[in-house]
Chains A and B, each alone.
Chain A
Amino acid sequence: MESIVAHQKDLNFKATELRLGLPGSEDQESDQEILSKNNNKRTLPQSAHDEEDCESKSSSDHHVKTPSVAKAQIVGWPPVRSNRKNNIQPKKTESETGMYVKVSMDGAPYLRKIDLKMYKCYPELLKALENMFKLTIGEYSEREGYKGSEFAPAYEDKDGDLMLVGDVPWEMFMSSCKRLRIMKGSEARGLGCGV
């Protein structure tokens, strides 16, 4: 309770300040600055708790969605140099960036690109391809490839070989697919036939 009152006291100056902007759209960064300037005995860790209270309180006031911080970060703590902070956690960025591959269609003047990470399975991918190129691809079967249309989806794998989409498990496909190619006509049928 005390801590919230203290926080409100600190914020009074800000509350009466004339600004342009939506009400309640104070950015969290300035909250942190104000609290960290509270120079009484060891208030910082307490104010870290204040932050949590105030975030839940003020987030309801926000008209603008601001990125929420799991825990208030104190400037310069823990004492890790910025080049270390940037270099670690490559796993995160990997999951954030998409996995775009080129898609060519026989006879089309230019290529397209799709993000394979948007899809969780083959049917989703094939549906997207159908929408993108305004065509039907047909049903996949292990024996006969894609029956029921003149188009067959193929992809180029890590070794540069042209493979039919759908033969291998989805995850394996995701990691080996370098580009997609929608084949048409007699060539397409050639891929589908055989063992």
Chain B
Amino acid sequence: MSTLAPHFRTVMVNTLPLEVLEHIFSSITTDKDRNSISLVSKTWNEAERCCRKNVFIGNCYAVSPSILIRRFPDIRSVNIKGKPHFADFDLVPEGWGAYFYPWVVTMATAYPFLEEIRLKRMVVCDESLELISKSFKNFKVLVLQSCEGFTTDGLAAIAANCRNLRELDLGESEVEDLSGHWLSHFPDSCTSLVSLNIACLASEVSFSALERLVARSPHLRTLRLNRAVSIEKLPKLLRHASQLVEFGTGSYSADTQADVSEVFVNVSQAFSGCNKLKGLSGFWEAAPAYFPTIYPVHSKLTSLNLSYATVEIPDLGKLISHCHNLQRLWVLDYVEDSGLEEIANSCKELQELRVFPSDPFAPGPNVSLTEQGLVAVSVGCPKLQSVLYFCRQMTNDALVTIARNRPYMIRFRLCIIEPQTPDYSTLEPLDTGFGAIVQHCKELRRLSLSGLLTDRVFEYIGVHAKKLEMLSLAFAGDSDLGLHYVLSGCESLRKLEIRDCPFGDEALLANAAKLETMRSLWMSNCSVSFEACKLLAQKLPGLNVEVIDERGHPDTRPESCPVEKLYVYRTVSGRRFDTPGFVWIIDEDPSSTPYSNGNRSLASA
């Protein structure tokens, strides 16, 4: 805007009618751009808010349902995230919050034309699902990623009432399986399904209902089955869905009664009919004997998720190395260094690699997977930009090599399973290695560290990681200086999550203002005192400072005693009132009680 001649800019702002502005803005779709144009002027703000159709809420407590509907009158698609990321690892106690119900109640009346709801890490109850199914006549998309709190009864309501449902994706949610018959609630008239993901369901769905549903969904592009569907059933489904682009199998081994060779032939034939298949997942209990059934499609695959397949080398390597067009690969560490070397040689399009641990709690290595595998892939795959790697040993040299080879790395998450493991060849900390990563990979947006790390690595991060948006730390650092480097240096930082690091009051209070520029900060089992939390809340009224402590009243311990967990986030809706007994929210008014545990209205789940 600043490049326009001043008089032209004035003309635009003052004389174009709102409808014209809205029309222009309708072509601007990303949230970032939308947010930018809404800040230009009051007129633009007004035009923008009236015609905004999609809203993304990165933290459900940063804003409230009433504020949302007041600002945006006509939303068609919402995307809301709830609990902090560390909730995935059981660090956020049950009952903390992130209830979807208050949102759906408000939106039910305000947005009758709502079409899409995408939630992540939220608590969704059956009542919410029923309300969705009855309130939004044109409802099309429901994505519940890592959610919980609902049962198959709620799903039955969605199936029964959403006439134009296109997408039902249960992500990796925890669903209470009351009955497999919910799927039968899809009326015969429902033929609009494009995407169905039920992989997270533990028990059997009615297979005949599933088969009929698939058969009458000509637009179905994504189908992810759950583990209960065994391999012999696949040909029946695939026959009706040869247009599938993404397919998730169930259990990839047959009932002991079945004839292995017959199953093999049927499944292979079924796959050869799927000309558009690009992505495969599932593969629970995969039996290597069945892997060749995938051969008809493997050279076209761009995405392969074998992270539940407990298959070992060489079957695993053989399968993957035929997938020359693979862009995304998720696999267990059974792939080993040798498998990764094969992949480095054959999968030149690889962009994303995730290697999960087959036995996270084994006291020592149970497979031959080391830093060498990752180095090989970083050398051989020129497009590699996203890595999640669990291993048991690492060296600085390996990290430096990876950094030098892949300067366009965007996401780098390394988990060395034993906390504080040093470079095994030199016994030094891994500061230099990770330092090289942030120095060379200038586009790095997400980083997770592990291994033995001193404050020095944070100095490197503060200096170099200017585009870093999300940082995850565990068992790292020596002192507050580490935290200070990060908070004062990382300009683009939005999310910082820390566990078991010796970071405390000093760095936090010195960089308090930084927290208002971030979405959230999580610190658990660190050295932050309750006193510091109170100071923080007083200093920055725009933040919610939540102390999560299951040991009871913070006042039963000395003020200097470290809090168990701290979650700080910016908000425009003030403190929340749906907190459970172990969450202590600090009000900013120092004259009132220094904390309050407001159980006033525990929102019904």
Contacts and interface: CB of A to CB of B under 8 A. Distances in A.
Contact of A42 (B332, B475, B561): B475
A54 B49 CA distance: 61
B415 A78 contact: yes
A78 B551 contact: no
A115 to B, nearest CB: 16
Interface residues of A, number: 31
A177 to B, nearest CB: 10
B506 to A, nearest CB: 14
| Residue of A76, A82, A84, A87 ringed by the most chain B CB atoms within 10 A | A76
Interface string B335-362: 0000000000000000000001111110
A82 B356 CA distance: 13
A153 B261 CA distance: 30
Nearest to B356: A84
B499 A76 contact: yes
Contact of B357 (A36, A42, A80, A82): A80
Contacts of B86: 76
Interface in B72-91: 86, 88-91
Interface in B272-307: 284-285, 307
A45 to B, nearest CB: 5
Contacts of A81: 88-89, 172
A83 B86 CA distance: 15
A107 to B, nearest CB: 28
B257 A70 contact: no
Interface residues of B, number: 43
B500 A79 contact: no
Contact of A70 (B88, B200, B363): B363
| Residue of B88, B551, B561, B564 ringed by the most chain A CB atoms within 10 A | B88
Nearest to B502: A41
Contacts of A90: 284-285, 310
B475 A45 contact: yes
A79 B84 CA distance: 14
B420 interface: yes
A10 to B, nearest CB: 13
B526 A39 contact: yes
Interface string A23-64: 000000000000011011110110010000000000000000
Contact of B172 (A71, A83, A88): A83
Interface in B558-578: 561-562, 564
Interface string B417-461: 101100000000000000000000000000000000000000000
B564 A37 contact: yes
A71 B361 contact: yes
A16 interface: no
Chain A at the B interface: SS class? loop
Interface in A68-97: 70-71, 73-85, 87-91
A87 B308 contact: yes
A158 interface: yes
A44 B89 contact: no
B419 A45 contact: yes
Contact of B360 (A39, A75, A85, A178): A85
Contacts of B308: 84, 87-88
Nearest to A71: B363
Nearest to A85: B360
A76 B90 contact: yes
Chain B at the A interface: SS class? loop
B361 A73 contact: yes
A23 to B, nearest CB: 25
A180 B227 CA distance: 30
A77 B419 contact: yes
Nearest to B503: A41
A75 B90 contact: yes
Given A77-B474, A87-B308, A158-B256, A42 B360 contact: no
Contacts of B499: 76
B139 interface: no
A133 B359 CA distance: 44
Contacts of B562: 39
Nearest to A79: B89
A82 B146 CA distance: 11
B525 A44 contact: yes
B595 interface: no
Contact of A89 (B307, B310, B390): B310
Contacts of A40: 502, 527
A82 to B, nearest CB: 7
A78 B502 CA distance: 19
Nearest to A48: B419
Contacts of A82: 90
A89 B90 contact: no
A92 B90 CA distance: 24
Contacts of B256: 158, 178
B535 to A, nearest CB: 18
B363 A80 contact: no
A84 B502 contact: no
A119 B504 CA distance: 60
B331 to A, nearest CB: 12
A78 B390 contact: yes
A79 B500 CA distance: 13
A76 B285 CA distance: 25
B261 to A, nearest CB: 13
A76 B227 CA distance: 25
Nearest to B419: A45
Contact of B89 (A76, A89, A178): A76
Contact of B307 (A41, A48, A84): A84
Given A41-B502, A71-B361, A87 B284 contact: yes
B417 to A, nearest CB: 5
Contacts of B91: 75-76
A44 B90 contact: no
A41 B562 CA distance: 11
Nearest to B86: A76
B481 to A, nearest CB: 13
Contacts of A70: 361, 363
B88 A79 contact: yes
Contacts of A71: 361, 363
18 contacts: A36-B525, A37-B564, A42-B475, A42-B501, A45-B475, A70-B361, A70-B363, A71-B363, A75-B89, A75-B91, A78-B390, A85-B360, A87-B284, A87-B308, A88-B310, A90-B284, A91-B310, A158-B257
Interface of A: 36-37, 39-42, 44-45, 48, 70-71, 73-85, 87-91, 158, 178
Interface of B: 86, 88-91, 172, 174, 200, 227, 256-257, 284-285, 307-308, 310, 332, 356-361, 363, 390, 415, 417, 419-420, 474-475, 478, 499-502, 525-527, 551, 561-562, 564
